[in-house]
Each structure stands twice: as C-alpha cells, then as structure tokens.
Amino acid sequence: MAEPVVNKATGKSNWSVLLGAAFIMATSAIGPGFLTQTTVFTEKFLADFAFAILASIIIDIGAQMNVWRVITMSRMRGQDIANKVVPGLGYFVAFLIVLGGLAFNIGNIAGCGLGLNVLFGISEQMGAIISCLIALGIFASKEAGAAMDTVAKVLGGLMIALTTYVMFVSNPPVGAAVVKSVFPSEYGSLMLPMITLIGGTVGGYITFAGGHRLLDAGIVGHENLKEVNKSAVTGILITGVMRTVLFLAVLGVVAAGGVLNKANPPASVFQIAAGQVGYMFFGLVLWSAAITSVVGAAYTSVSFLRSFSKTVDKYNSYTIMLFIVISTIVFVTVGRPIKVLILAGSLNGLILPVTLGVMLLACRNKKIVGEYSHPTWLIIFGVLAVLITAYAGITSLQGMAALWK
C-alpha cells in the first residue's frame, strides 16, 4: 500500500503546525459532550472528581504518545498501519471511525446551533446552517491546513480564557481539590468517571486528529521525534487545563449551594457564577467547542478514507466539506438522533482499545516503523489504556443493548 503524500514543514512553520496539531486534537475532544460530562461528574463527586481528572490525564498522555509516535515514525495513517498488522483490519477501523465521526458531528452541529441561539436568539437550525457555512469556509481556503490550525488555536484559547474567568468568579475551594486529586474519599466510585474521561479525550477519532495532521504536514521520522512528543503531550495538557478550569468553576458554584439546571447543567454554572454575562460567555464557549469539534471530526474521519480512494485523496477538502454538509442536513431535517448518538458512542468506546492495540502490535515491527525503537514504558502505558477502555467499551455496549430492547 502506498504511503500518503506529505508536505514537509520546515523552519519556523514547524512550531505553528505542532501547536496546531495539539489544538486540533484538544478542541476535537472539547465538544458539547465534554462540557456537560465534566459538569455532571463534578456535581456528583465534588472535589473527589479531581482524582479522576488527574489520573485520566496521565493515562491519556501515554495513550496519545503511543499513537502519534507510531503514525509519524511509520509515515502511515492509522488505517494503513492496521492493514499492515492484520490485512483488512484497517477497513474495519475506518468504518468505526467514520460512523462515529458522522454521528458525533451531528451532535456537534447541534451544539453550534444552540451556541448561536444563546448568543443571538436565532433558531438552533439557523445557527447550525450558519456554523456549517463557516466550517465550509475553512476548508475552502487554499491553505486549509493552516486555516484549521489557526481556528483551533484561537477558539481553543478563547474557551479556556472565558472559562477561567468564570472559575475565578465562582471562587472554588482549590485547596480541597488539590488534596482530593491524590487522596479522594473513595477510589472505587471514581473508576467509571475516569474511564469515561479517557474515552472522551483519546477515544474514537480524537487521538488521530493531531497525529494525522502532523503526518500531512510532513513532521515525521526520527529527526522530528522530540517535536512529535511535545505536540502529543501539549494536546493532552490543553484538554486537561480546560477540564480543570471547568471543574473548578462548577465546584465553586456547587460548593456555594448553587443548584444546576438539569436541562442544561453547564449553562447554569456560567449563569449562576457570572449572571447574564456568564450566560453569554457560555454561548460563546459552547459554539467554539462545537465548531472546532465539527472541523476536527470531519477532517479526521475523511483522513481514514484517503488511503482507500484516489478520488477522496485528490478531492480531500471537498470530501470534508461534504461530510459537514451531510451532518448539518441530518440535524436540520431530523433533529437530534439520540439513539444513533448513543449507538455511535458505544462503538466509539471500542475504537481506542482496537486502534491502540494495533499501534502496540506495530510499534516494534521493523517492517512498519523501521529502525525506530519504541520504549517499554510507553508500551506499559498503552496496555493499561487498552484494558481500561476495553472494559469501558463492553460496559457501554451493555447499556446500548438495554436501550434498544
């Protein structure tokens, strides 16, 4: 199978691409579900949730470094590596990635619509259409990769800044959170939220978003190993910072006696902490999280098809745009397909153990990675992540089966 054509990034452009790849991965993870999930878990576990966040960040770093290293050292996309390990496996992985990416993108488009509804009072459907056009504009650019990097960095930074403001206003008990991050009241009850966070950060298409971006930019090979490591860790840390400041914002509100609206928990956090201004901040954070997730999901999902179709590879940007248009049409005409999203979420839970397992099998295969030597400590991290996420996937499938009865 032919290796993908890449464009070598050199000199000053490297750092921009490295940071862009980190933000593409991070903002792909920080979507509407991320905001709700973090808020709900914080409300339930209070300061103890800090342990789940810290533990998940450590495991996420190990999982992501495994994936990004193998992709960039082999100079092959995830599906091509899978086909090298087990012939035909790459097609199965691509199917799971594209199915999950499409379903979640419908939810992301819905989040865009809701964000603009909060900001401007327009209907969610109209907000989704406007957001679709903005996303299409990114990929219509002659420098789509650079445009995608810039949007991810600007909106990612904006989300963190606005949420940090709300965190300070809510005045959270930081000391208690620091202590509980290592010594929670109970470890057992935090395992499920920890597993959920791992799946939401590096599961499905998310961990491949930045890895494939580095590949497309030509940041590959031994000479770029340090840069790849730096970008991989940065992506996880950006996600960790956003989750931490949101966690502390929620903790401050709840600790002060605030009661969250069950219909929209994260919106009520921003509103309780900072009034109407906070509510408008929420709309901007939600839209930023959703639109960057739309971009990341579409880019990564289509990247899993490029090896199998010369037409898709040649017209990559147009295929990505079609992916976004289809997601928008489904949302506008059908609405939120809850069961489809749950089905995709369950399948998504199985993607990381499969893909990471493939990377671990490939990491010391000289026919795939050449003379590159994958460190043992990373393999141990990878095996741990495979076991944890496999358990999460089986659990989620059981819940899905109950739903569809």
d(CA 134, CA 128): 10
d(CA 241, CA 246): 8
C-beta separation of 193 from 39 below 8 A? no
pLDDT at 5: 41
pLDDT at 101: 87
pLDDT at 343: 54
Task: Indicate if the pLDDT at residue 174 is higher than 70.
Answer: yes
pLDDT at 3: 45
Nearest CA among 250, 251, 241, 285 for reference residue 268:
250
Write out pLDDT tens, residues 176-198: 999 999 999 998 888 888 888 88
DSSP 8-state symbol, 123: -
Residue 239 token pair: 């996600």
Treating both helix axes as pointing N-terminal to C-terminal, what angle do 376-404 and 338-362 enclose, rounded to 10 degrees? 160
Write out pLDDT tens, residues 34-67: 999 899 999 999 999 999 999 999 999 999 999 9
In a domain? residue 3: no
pLDDT at 7: 45
Phi-psi category of residue 257: left, alpha or beta, with phi > 0 → left and psi -120 to 50 → alpha? left
Task: Indicate if the pLDDT at residue 12 is higher than 70.
Answer: no
C-beta separation of 231 from 214 below 8 A? yes
Confidence of residue 398 (pLDDT cuts 50, 70, 90): low
Mean pLDDT of the chain: 89
In a domain? residue 29: yes
Q: How many domains does the chain have?
A: 1
d(CA 369, CA 383): 19
Residue 90 token pair: 């790459």
Query: Which spans in 186-264 are helix H?
Result: 191-202, 206-216, 225-255
In a domain? residue 268: yes
Task: Indicate if the pLDDT at residue 1 is higher than 80.
Answer: no
Confidence of residue 403 (pLDDT cuts 50, 70, 90): very low
Q: How far is CA 286 from CA 47, 116, 159, 326, 377, in A?
A: 24, 9, 8, 21, 37
| CATH code at position 59 | 1.20.1740.10
C-alpha atoms less than 13 angstroms from C-alpha of 4 in its C-beta half-sphere: 33
The three-class DSSP label of residue 193 is: helix
Write out pLDDT tens, residues 79-122: 999 999 999 999 988 988 888 888 889 889 999 999 999 999 99
Residue 20 token pair: 């862009």
Nearest CA among 385, 363, 390 for reference residue 376:
363
Query: Which spans in 306-404 are helix H?
Result: 310-314, 316-334, 338-362, 366-369, 376-404
In a domain? residue 126: yes
Match 């495991």 to its residue by tokens. Answer: 59
In a domain? residue 307: yes
The pTM of this model reads 0.89
Query: Which spans in 46-123 are helix H?
Result: 49-74, 78-85, 89-120
Region 163-167 average pLDDT: 97
Tell me how far apart the terminal alpha carbons of the chain are, to the nearest angstrom. Answer: 42
In a domain? residue 82: yes
Nearest CA among 111, 154, 155, 157 for reference residue 132:
111
Residue 67 token pair: 């994936």
Region 283-307 average pLDDT: 95
pLDDT at 71: 97
Match 């749950």 to its residue by tokens. Answer: 342
In a domain? residue 7: no
Task: Indicate if the pLDDT at residue 2 is higher than 50.
Answer: no
d(CA 68, CA 199): 17
Q: Domain containing 92: what range? A: 13-404
pLDDT at 395: 66
Residue 363 token pair: 């990491």
In a domain? residue 1: no
